[in-house]
């Protein structure tokens, strides 16, 4: 919501006492993000602006007064890096949840939508989030696809596409630069993207996973200014010392104790420390929260509430170049969240642009998307799959044996090798192994589906399928039984995408996501219930503890930009060398040997 000259003039008049405030918040304890103090004050609001912050009880002239009874009041929380698509909700339904938790602004990288729909996906992100109380700042995806040459998504962005997106006023910067290899080796594509970002004067977000030393310095020298891909406390400290803005994320909570301990050793907590959620599924978003859950974890691990709130407010506003946000001060937007305690943060009241929109976790109104915004559907451009198409075969061998490269591990993968038997044209899956099948779903090429052996998942007792697979979001199926795999794949093709579990010909769980193959039409609570059921039932197919990690691992198992082997729609890839690798090392067929170069 833009601030008009008329509103600004009225705020000046109200601050001087010439006209009454529209709204006066009294008996508040302000968490001061500049001084770190907690101090008593009243807040006068005119239209969407804070007009005055003044001593308690010194003004009573207002059209409406809210007594906050000594509660603590903070600027609205800001999420500096998020993919709304991970909630599997359209923007309006996502906003209905996070607003009640005190998040009033987000920096959204819609690169999941862009990898399916191209520029149309970014336009949908902009239009679907327009006029919501949640202030959505959209970033221009730079990772479409995340690893050019190793995978194919629904579009391909380079410098021209980046310049186009950055020319749109709703786009606030370049989204996370995942092609670290391209940056460090001066690829023409990445130079075009970065040059467009630098020319725009807007932000350039980073994805510096695993970078250190000279490579980290080179990555910064290219123009990148932030990173959320923190892998350890030492990694976080090196990046902070290098000058990157840290975006401590909630999607990797196991790192937080060490990161907090390292930050507490510093003589000063930099303004370049912010927080983000990155990816939060719907059940977790509802049950535990987004940014609010991360802040509470940081407090549990020993950080002061005043510090973590500054990460999520003033520091975030500085990072996002938004001087109208992040501070309770005259002239700022009246985006505010009220807490009854700073030991565990829980939003009692939420104000957006001066309007009281939520109380005790309940939003006062339902949020709707503009009627002329049509969600993108019909993105599963695939014919039905047969069971035979879900078996691993080696060209020109009916009976014999082979030595194959395979993927070992789940989230952190390594290369492995194994000898297999081939009967009736099919590789016999070894004990303790399963297979992964990836098929291009965007209609840009008609290559055969890719299948590889998978170790580290155990012998899957059925099939797990998803069309939400970072970052190209092709159709991915894991399993051992070809019939179950085909059934799970076809279920998603028919429903327009989503996630499914099939065992012995029975559908255990299915979450339909017909919007771009990744978003649901269901109300948030209903979707969360289905997603929770999907997690719980996944333990019948895969032995993982806790079960929620199954889908986190599946969503990232094809992420070819990460080090190690990954299967994509183009083949078995090596994220370290950026090569497509022949899975076949050697074969034996009727006494004829074949050896790979």
**Tens digits of per-residue pLDDT, 420-448?**
999 999 999 999 999 999 999 999 998 78
- Length of the chain measured in residues: 597
Does pLDDT of 138 surpass 50?
A: yes
User: What is the pLDDT, as a whole number, of residue 596?
Assistant: 41
Q: Is the pLDDT of residue 594 over 70?
A: no
pLDDT band at 554 (very low <50, low <70, confident <90, very high): confident
Residue 193 in contact with residue 148, Cβ under 8 Å? Answer: no
User: What is the reported pLDDT for 371?
Assistant: 79
Q: Note whether 239 and 277 are within 8 A (CB).
A: no
The encoded tokens of residue 42 equal 């009243």
Map residue 497 onto helix, strand or coil: coil
Percent of the chain whose pLDDT exceeds 70: 97
Instruction: Evaluate if residue 163 carries a pLDDT over 80.
Output: yes
Kindly list the strands in the beta sheet with 103-108, ordered across the sheet, starting from the edge strand earlier in the chain.
77-82, 103-108, 135-140, 171-177, 203-206
* Tokens (6 digits) for 266: 């510093």
Work out whether the CA dihedral 223, 228, 232, 234 comes out positive or negative: positive
Asked if 347 contacts 102 with a C-beta cutoff of 8 angstroms, the reply is yes
- Give strand pairing partners of 151: 148
Per-residue pLDDT at 546: 55
pLDDT at res. 539: 87
- State mean pLDDT over 15-44: 97
Query: Which position has the higher pLDDT, 501 or 576?
Result: 501
Nearby residues of 344 by Cβ (< 8 Å), 6 or more positions away: 296, 299
Interval 239-260 mean pLDDT: 94
In the chain, the largest separation of any two C-alpha atoms, in whole Å, equals 98
User: Given this model, what pLDDT does residue 1 score?
Assistant: 55
For CA atoms 523, 289, 72, 35, give the dihedral sign. Answer: negative
Q: What is the pTM of this model?
A: 0.94
Residue-level pLDDT at 550: 66
- With contact defined as beta carbons under 8 Å apart, do 44 and 54 qualify? yes
| Res 568 pLDDT > 80 | yes
Task: Give the pLDDT score at 106.
Answer: 98
Tokens of 337: 């969240």
Residue 548's pLDDT band (cuts 50, 70, 90): low
User: Is the pLDDT at 86 greater than 60, yes or no?
Assistant: yes
Q: Nearest 10 degrees: CA dihedral of 338, 339, 340, 341? A: -150
Task: Report whether 416 contacts 406 (CB < 8 A).
Answer: yes
Does residue 552 carry a pLDDT above 80? no
pLDDT tens digits along 52-68? 999 999 999 999 999 99
**Bond from prior residue into 546 cis (ω within 30 degrees of 0):** yes
| The pLDDT value given to residue 29 | 98
pLDDT greater than 70 at residue 547:
no
The two three-digit tokens of residue 188, written as one number: 């023409």
The tokens describing 253, both together, are 């909570």
Tokens of 545: 């503890």
- In 3D space, the residue among 220, 219, 293 whose CA is nearest the CA of residue 252 turns out to be 293
Q: Predicted confidence band at 576 (pLDDT cuts at 50, 70, 90)?
A: confident
Residue 437 · residue 443 · CB < 8 Å: no
Is the model's pLDDT at 3 over the cut of 90?
A: no
Q: Which residue has the higher pLDDT, 486 or 366?
A: 486
DSSP for 204-229 reads EEE--TT--HHHHHHHHHTT--EE--
- What pLDDT is recorded for position 459? 84
Residue with structure tokens 């009692």?
348
pLDDT band at 592 (very low <50, low <70, confident <90, very high): low
pLDDT of 185 higher than 60: yes
pLDDT at residue number 549: 61
With beta carbons less than 8 A apart as the criterion, state whether 82 and 291 touch.
no
Whole-angstrom Cα Rg for the chain: 26
Report pLDDT for 467.
97
Q: Could you give the dihedral angle defined by the CA atoms of residues 580, 582, 585 and 589, in that order, rounded to the nearest 10 degrees?
A: 180
pLDDT, tens digit, for every residue of 462-477? 999 999 999 899 999 9
One DSSP character per residue, 43-61 reads EEEETTEEEEEE-TTS---
Residue 240 backbone zone (phi > 0: left; psi -120 to 50: alpha; other: beta): alpha
């Amino acid at each position: 919501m833009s601030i008009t000259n008329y509103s600004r003039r009225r705020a000046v008049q109200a601050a001087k006492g010439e006209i009454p405030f529209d709204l006066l918040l009294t008996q508040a304890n302000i968490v001061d993000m500049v001084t770190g103090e907690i101090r008593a004050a009243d807040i006068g609001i005119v239209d969407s602006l804070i007009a005055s912050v003044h001593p308690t009880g010194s003004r009573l002239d207002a059209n409406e007064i809210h007594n906050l009874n000594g509660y603590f009041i903070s600027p609205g929380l800001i999420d500096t890096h998020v993919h709304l698509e991970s909630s599997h909700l359209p923007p309006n339904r996502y906003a209905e949840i996070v607003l009640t938790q005190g998040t009033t602004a987000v920096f959204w990288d819609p690169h999941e939508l862009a990898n399916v729909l191209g520029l149309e996906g970014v336009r949908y992100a902009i239009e679907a989030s327009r006029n919501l109380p949640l202030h959505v700042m959209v970033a221009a995806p730079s990772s479409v696809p995340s690893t050019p040459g190793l995978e194919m998504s629904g579009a391909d962005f380079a410098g021209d596409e980046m310049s186009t997106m950055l020319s749109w006023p709703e786009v606030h910067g370049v989204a996370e630069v995942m092609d670290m290899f391209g940056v460090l080796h001066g690829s023409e594509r990445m130079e075009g993207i970065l040059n467009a970002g630098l020319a725009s004067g807007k932000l350039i977000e980073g994805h510096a996973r695993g970078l250190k030393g000279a490579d980290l310095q080179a990555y910064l020298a290219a123009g990148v200014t932030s990173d959320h891909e923190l892998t350890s406390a030492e990694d976080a400290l090196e990046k902070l010392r290098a000058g990157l803005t840290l975006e401590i994320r909630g999607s990797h909570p196991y790192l937080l104790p060490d990161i907090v301990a390292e930050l507490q050793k510093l003589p000063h907590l930099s303004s370049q420390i912010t927080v983000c959620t990155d990816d939060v599924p719907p059940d977790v978003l509802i049950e535990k929260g987004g940014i609010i859950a991360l802040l509470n974890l940081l407090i549990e691990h020993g950080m002061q509430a005043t510090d973590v709130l500054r990460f999520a407010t003033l520091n975030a506003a500085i990072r996002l170049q938004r001087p109208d946000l992040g501070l309770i001060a005259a002239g700022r937007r009246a985006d505010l969240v009220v807490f009854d305690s700073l030991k565990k943060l829980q939003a009692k009241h939420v104000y957006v642009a001066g309007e009281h929109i939520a109380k005790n976790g309940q939003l006062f109104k339902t949020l709707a998307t503009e009627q002329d915004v049509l969600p993108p559907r019909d993105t599963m451009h695939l014919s039905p799959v047969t069971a035979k198409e879900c078996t691993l075969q080696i060209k020109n061998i009916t009976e014999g044996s082979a030595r194959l490269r395979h993927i070992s591990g789940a989230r952190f993968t390594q290369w492995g090798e194994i000898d297999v038997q081939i009967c009736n044209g099919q590789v016999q899956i070894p004990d303790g192994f399963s297979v992964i099948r990836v098929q291009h779903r965007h209609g840009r090429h008609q290559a055969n589906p890719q299948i590889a052996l998978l170790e580290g998942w155990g012998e899957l007792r059925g099939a797990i399928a998803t069309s939400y697979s970072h970052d190209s979001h092709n159709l991915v199926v894991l399993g051992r039984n070809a019939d179950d795999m085909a059934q799970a794949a076809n279920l998603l093709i028919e429903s327009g995408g989503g996630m499914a579990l099939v065992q012995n010909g029975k559908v255990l769980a299915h979450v339909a996501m017909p919007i771009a193959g990744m978003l649901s039409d269901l109300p948030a609570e209903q979707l969360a219930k289905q997603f929770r059921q999907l997690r719980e039932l996944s333990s019948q197919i895969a032995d993982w503890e806790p079960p929620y990690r199954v889908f986190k691992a599946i969503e990232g198992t094809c992420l070819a930009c990460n080090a190690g082997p990954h299967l994509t729609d183009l083949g078995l890839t090596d994220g370290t060398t950026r090569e497509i690798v022949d899975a076949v090392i050697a074969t034996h067929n009727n006494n004829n040997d074949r050896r790979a170069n």
